[in-house]
Structure 1
Amino acid sequence: MDLILWRHAEAELASGDLTDEFRKLTSKGMKQASKMAYWLDSTLPDTCKILVSPAIRTRDTAEALATCGRKFKICPELGTAATVQDVLLAANWPHSREPVLIIGHQPYLGQVVGELLGHPLHDYPVRKANVWWISQKQRDAEEMQTYLKAIMTPDLVIR
């Protein structure tokens, strides 16, 4: 199974009038999301299931991928207060037969990375707009191996 974690792109700062859930992407964030969507669309299998936090900034990030023809599902369990277990349950890890892309938030994305890579007490710093791709394969008849397949940043995408 492949679990791809994409942190939302750069968003507006929260302020008195703007609560966390309603923050939109900045113009820089829109460019970041567009670059990563381009890379993801060229890399993701067609069967990839895409699950998105209901926060505006994650939906804006997902919309960049939707312009490539990819469909996504808003998943309330992936909101800003989600836990590692919420994410793994939503993704059906490790049982899903198809790859799953989660578009979400820190700190839980970094916590999921730590959990899956064997460091459950470590929060990995998943930066804005970055993608962390985690894979699992059969090592031998009984053991599954989980490994970090790739980390991608919008700065590395050439369009």
Structure 2
Amino acid sequence: MLITFLRHATAEEGSLSKTDADRSLIDKGEKQVKRLAAFCQANQLIPGTIYSSPLLRAQQTATILNERLPGCPAPQIVDWLGSDTSVSTLLSELSKLVEQGLDDVWLVGHEPDFSEIIARVLATAPYNIIVKKASLTRLDVDFSDVPTARLLWSVPNSLMRQK
């Protein structure tokens, strides 16, 4: 299964007046997603399916991508991509998607969850993985036994410049 991890774009800083779940994208974050969509279009990277965390900043990232990238499916909001989800829960949910026959899944979510699951399937320590905001990281994951993966590529948003 191809899994593309998209960390949400830059959002408001945490504060006492707003819950973490309600933090929204700032102008910089919206620009990052627009740059991401243009990069995806230029490189013919069209998601097969998109699943998003229920947190506002992830939903906004997924929605803007859907609006700006022709052919991009509407995001499906799933609780299992919320922040602080265990690696075992993520792997279990992804295994269910494999059983449904999905082979190209994009996930919009959070750190440190993404670096932890990527590290697990790549058999390395989480501190070896850094998933930047509004970046794309693609793995080819084999769920036939113990989940293992090959890193296909990782592109930070700062390198998604258009000519």
Shorter-chain TM-score tier:
0.7 to 0.9
Contact persistence 2:40–2:46 (CA under 8 A): no
For the residues of structure 2 that align with 1:85 and 1:131, how far apart are their CA atoms? 22
- Partner residue in 2 for 1:84: 87
- Partner residue in 1 for 2:135: 130
Choose which of 71, 76, 87 in structure 2 pairs with 1:73.
Answer: 76
TM-score of the superposed pair, with normalisation by structure 2: 0.83
- Partner residue in 1 for 2:28: 28
- Partner residue in 1 for 2:44: 43
What number of residue pairs does the alignment pair up? 152
Q: What displacement does 1:145 show? A: 6.6
Q: What displacement does 1:155 show? A: 1.7
Report the CA distance shift for 1:85/1:37 in structure 2 as closer, same or farther (over 3 A): farther
Contact persistence 2:8–2:61 (CA under 8 A): yes
For the residues of structure 1 that align with 2:63 and 2:102, how far apart are their CA atoms? 25
RMSD, matched Cα: 2.3
What is the aligned-residue identity percentage? 26
- Partner residue in 2 for 1:10: 10
| 5+ residue gaps, structure 1 | none
Matched position secondary structure for 1:43: coil
Matched position secondary structure for 1:33: helix
Q: What displacement does 1:45 show? A: 4.5
Q: Counterpart amino acid of 1:146? A: A
Which has the larger share of helix? 2
For the residues of structure 1 that align with 2:96 and 2:79, how far apart are their CA atoms? 17
TM-score of the superposed pair, with normalisation by structure 1: 0.84
Q: Counterpart amino acid of 1:49? A: T
After TM superposition, where is structure 1 displaced by more than 4 Å over at least 4 residues in a row? Answer: none
Matched position secondary structure for 1:100: strand
